[in-house]
């Protein structure tokens, strides 16, 4: 089957009208390391959680494969097929597909829901780290809602049923709900029915409460707060232009234009090393304590908690076009063992605004306007 026919099949199925659906979804998200998560490990120290998630983020960035989720992610419950089969899925705004990776689900889909044998084509996708994805397309119902119902079902949803040869994913049982700007992401497939808009409000993994993903009409920004909106440089992945960073009253500018991916599955915030160094120096100058000589990797700037008042941290702002994003202490500093560490770290690869920097911000993507908006929010009240 040639490529033109292959994509024609996709467009044909996307164009088939389906039964009336609600124009909004309100979905609970659970951080992988939250006490609410089925993967929660009470014996894993706070320090280990942060270091492990950070190290997985580094391998992800060095490979250049920013679409591959790491273990700093948030999970949601989905139901596939008729009767619906319950599964967990990683929510990732850097991915443009809905991936079904659990082997039992894949077998089920291939028996029931794969496009007719002449249309169900194995295809290959080479990522920047030279890993290869091989999989089949399937069409089936996907539903959202609590275990005891009622479920909200979307029919004729295009899924990818993968055999994944990527170190970060091949041992994982979850699927992935991609919310990127590509035509096969969940938000794109729901399309006009949800107004091409979605938002999330993330809560720290230490809290015993769910974060929220809102799609469509329920994705309203909170009242009586400052809402800042900036244009997207790219929708796949969602990319912003970072104009400068302020540390207290010192505004620092990169030597050249710097694009930054906004991501829901990377824990830390990564800044190109050429710019990061000036940020670290300014933060160190603003803190009147000596940094530890050997900070835990991958952190570069840490202070011993016992030797300082941990409230004495500088004000940090990220400046995007039309947006000054003030990052409170918990968004840019984190307790790692007996240390307080800057959760902004250098990278030789792409710059990434990680999910720890987005905690207690409502982040809304409007794909018709090609914008992203930020609003400081108490996400426990969403």
Q: What pLDDT is attached to residue 150?
A: 79
Q: What pLDDT is attached to residue 331?
A: 93
Q: What pLDDT is attached to residue 30?
A: 87
Candidates 145, 186, 197; CA nearest to 26 is: 145
Do the strands 269-272 and 344-347 form a parallel or antiparallel pair, or are they unpaired? parallel
Candidates 212, 185, 207; CA nearest to 99 is: 185
- Spatial contact of 190 and 144, defined as CB atoms under 8 Å apart: no
Q: What pLDDT is attached to residue 37?
A: 74
Q: What pLDDT is attached to residue 83?
A: 82
Q: Give Cα 69 distance to the centre of its chain.
A: 8
Candidates 363, 369, 366; CA nearest to 29 is: 363
Candidates 139, 374, 124, 172; CA nearest to 262 is: 374
Q: What pLDDT is attached to residue 202?
A: 93
Q: Return the H-helix or E-strand segment holding 16.
A: none
Instruction: Give the global pTM.
Output: 0.81
How far is it, in rounded angstroms, from Cα 141 to Cα 113? 9
How far is it, in rounded angstroms, from Cα 294 to Cα 303? 10
Q: Where are the domains positioned within the chain?
A: 3-216, 228-381
Question: Would you say domain 228-381 falls under CATH 2.40.70.10?
Answer: yes
Task: Say how many C-beta atoms besides its own lie within 10 A of residue 29's C-beta.
Answer: 21
Q: What pLDDT is attached to residue 104?
A: 46
Angle at Cα 371 formed by Cα 366 and Cα 375, nearest 5°?
85
Peptide bond preceding 367 in cis form (omega within 30 of 0): no
Asked if 3-216 and 228-381 have one fold, the answer is: yes
Q: Is the dihedral of CA 274, 280, 286, 289 positive or negative?
A: negative
Candidates 218, 224, 222, 176; CA nearest to 197 is: 218
3-state secondary structure of 60: helix
Write out the E strands in 202-350: 211-216, 228-231, 234-235, 238-242, 244-247, 250-252, 258-262, 269-272, 302-304, 316-320, 323-327, 333-336, 339-342, 344-347
3-state secondary structure of 303: strand
Question: Would you say domain 3-216 falls under CATH 2.40.70.10?
Answer: yes
- Spatial contact of 143 and 151, defined as CB atoms under 8 Å apart: yes
Q: What pLDDT is attached to residue 71?
A: 55
| Model confidence pLDDT, tens digit, residues 208-222 | 889 999 998 777 787
Within the chain, what is the greatest distance between any pair of CA atoms?
69
Distance spanning both ends of the chain, measured CA to CA: 47
Which ranges of the chain have pLDDT less than 50? Answer: 1-20, 55-70, 102-134, 164-171
């Amino acid at each position: 089957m040639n490529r033109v026919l292959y994509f024609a099949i996709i467009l044909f199925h996307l164009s088939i009208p389906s039964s009336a659906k609600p124009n909004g979804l309100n979905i609970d998200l659970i951080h992988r390391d939250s006490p609410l998560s089925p993967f929660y490990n009470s014996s894993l120290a706070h320090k280990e959680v942060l270091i492990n998630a950070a190290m997985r983020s580094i391998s992800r960035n060095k490979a250049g494969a920013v679409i591959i989720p790491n273990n700093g992610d948030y999970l949601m419950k989905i139901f596939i097929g008729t009767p619906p089969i319950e599964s967990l899925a990683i929510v990732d705004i850097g991915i443009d597909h809905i991936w079904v990776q659990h082997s039992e689900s894949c077998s089920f889909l291939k028996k029931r829901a794969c496009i007719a044998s002449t249309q169900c084509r194995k295809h290959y996708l080479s990522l920047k780290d030279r890993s290869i994805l091989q999989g089949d397309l399937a069409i089936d119902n996907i539903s959202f809602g609590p275990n005891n119902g009622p479920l909200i079902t979307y029919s004729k949803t295009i899924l990818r049923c993968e055999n994944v040869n990527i170190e970060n994913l091949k041992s994982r049982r979850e699927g992935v709900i991609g919310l990127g700007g590509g035509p096969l992401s969940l938000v794109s497939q729901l399309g006009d029915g949800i107004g091409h808009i979605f938002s999330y409000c993330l809560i720290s993994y230490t809290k015993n409460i769910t974060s929220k993903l809102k799609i469509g009409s329920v994705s309203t920004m909170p009242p009586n707060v400052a809402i800042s909106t900036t244009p997207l440089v790219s929708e796949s992945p969602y990319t912003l232009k970072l104009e400068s960073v302020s540390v207290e009253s010192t505004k620092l500018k990169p030597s050249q234009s710097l694009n930054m991916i906004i991501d829901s599955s990377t824990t830390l915030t990564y800044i190109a090393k050429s710019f990061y160094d000036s940020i670290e120096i300014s933060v160190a100058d603003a803190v009147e304590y000596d940094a530890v000589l050997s900070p835990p990797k991958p952190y570069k700037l840490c202070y011993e908690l016992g030797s300082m008042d941990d409230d004495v941290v500088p004000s940090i702002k990220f400046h995007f076009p039309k947006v000054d994003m003030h990052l409170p202490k918990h968004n840019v500093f984190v307790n790692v063992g007996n240390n307080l560490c800057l959760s902004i770290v250098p990278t030789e690869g792409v710059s990434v605004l990680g999910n720890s920097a987005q905690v207690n911000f409502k982040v809304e993507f409007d794909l018709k306007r090609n914008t992203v908006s930020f609003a400081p929010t108490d996400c426990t009240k969403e």
